Amino acid sequence: MRRASSRATANRRPQLERCEPGGAVWTGANPGLPKRVIVGIEATVLRWGVIGTGRICETFVPDIQAAGGRVVGVWGRTAEKTDTFAQEHDIPFATLDLEQLLGRDDIDVVYVATPPATHLDLSVRALQAGKHVLVEKPMATSAADVEQLFDVARSHDRFVMEAMWMKFNPLHVEVVRRIQAGLIGEPRYVRGAFGMPFPAGGSRWDAALGGSTVLDQGIYPVTLAIWVLGQATELLATGTVRDGVDVTAQISMVHENGRTSQLACSVLEFVDPSASMSGTAGWVEIPAMFWATDVAHLHAGSTGALFGKPELLTRPREGNGYIPMIRSVTKAISSGHRQHPEHDLSATRSVARVLDAVRAQIHGEVRA
């Protein structure tokens, strides 16, 4: 395994630089997180450790770096893949020993991107090592495990968040803001789906690793529905299970004040991966792939305008799409938050409880 060079080691603890009013610059010992100066404004530089070397990490790590973060080390399961990943992404430290990564005092926050069934254990170990944690969605494979993870973070005074990047996508943030401001009147109905054929094999198809279309794909439409309509009060789910893995799901939910949603997910076939949110005065369409796109169509106004050409709302995508979330996480941690105001325990738990109930109905199980 490649280890950090002496030059990289020397650079791991940058000096604190501040640009004072009038432009004077001073340098001193770092009392906490390192800083960088952007046009006279102090900004925190988070030093990241990455747990995992899979596909999601290939797109996430460049966005950490583009957002101004510094990836210090990476842990993986195989020497060749981990070392190659580190070299390709200019990461100075690579290891197969998780304790080596978590024991480094030049890592502030750890990003966990491994199969879902491993999220709880790896995240708990990172929190116990004194690291803040951003863990891929789903945060865990049950609502009970989500609660446990937040409890551990609280007991160690550390930040933890599920990486539900859709909730930080500028397009989705603006769409929800406009809906809450009355764009479509009272929101009453959400439709959304994420279905496409995925090649068989890998953790997505392995029950022991948390394979589940509900956890992997269904989490997006469920999150959108709760975000727009509020808590789910009733649900009915049907689906298909193969070798202990739910591979299709159709979900009908009733929300607060009698609002409703119709959702679906699949790893077997395409299920129109778009979404729409309808209300008493119009509707919004988000085309495929609704959780990641940068455009939406707004149908609002007079009756004639509703059925005419919709307003096109665009918000350009930054990098691979994760940059807004990474920036927001950086701000939350540097501000002393231990939960993110926009995606805290309450929000994460609400979705996890729905996913539990959906899987229980599909698998015919009773889940805690």
* Closest of 169, 202, 213 to residue 327, by C-alpha: 169
Contact 118, 209 (CB under 8 A): yes
In the chain, where does the domain assigned CATH 3.30.360.10 lie?
166-317
Please classify residue 185 by burial: count the beta carbons closer than 10 Å to its beta carbon, then call 0-12 exposed, 13-18 middle and 19+ buried: middle
- CA–CA dist 286, 275 (Å, integer): 5
DSSP H or E segment with residue 120: helix 119-128
Per-residue pLDDT averaged across 266-290, rounded?
A: 97
Give domain 166-317's CATH architecture: 2-Layer Sandwich (3.30)
Quote the percentage of the chain above a pLDDT of 70.
Answer: 86
CB-based contacts of 222, cutoff 8 Å, min separation 6: 251, 263, 351, 354, 355, 358
CA distances from 89 to 61, 85, 95, 96 (A): 7, 6, 15, 17
**Confidence band of 34 (pLDDT split at 50, 70, 90):** low
**Confidence band of 287 (pLDDT split at 50, 70, 90):** very high
Predicted confidence at residue 309, as pLDDT, reads 87
**Confidence band of 335 (pLDDT split at 50, 70, 90):** very high
Q: What is the pLDDT of residues 180-200, one digit of tens each?
A: 999 999 999 999 999 999 998
Predicted confidence at residue 120, as pLDDT, reads 99
Q: Is the pLDDT of residue 299 over 90?
A: yes
**Domain 6-163 listed as CATH 3.30.2180.10:** no
Contact 282, 184 (CB under 8 A): yes
Predicted confidence at residue 307, as pLDDT, reads 80
| Angle subtended by helix axes 219-229 and 170-180, to nearest 10 | 30
DSSP string, 204-262: GG-GGGT--HIIIIIHHHHHHHHHHH--EEEEEEEEEEETTEEEEEEEEEEEGGG-EEE
- CA–CA dist 112, 132 (Å, integer): 11
In the chain, where does the domain assigned CATH 3.40.50.720 lie?
6-163
Q: What are phi and psi of 363, to 5 degrees?
A: -85, -10
DSSP string, 149-184: HHHHHHHTT--EEE--GGGG-HHHHHHHHHHHTTTT
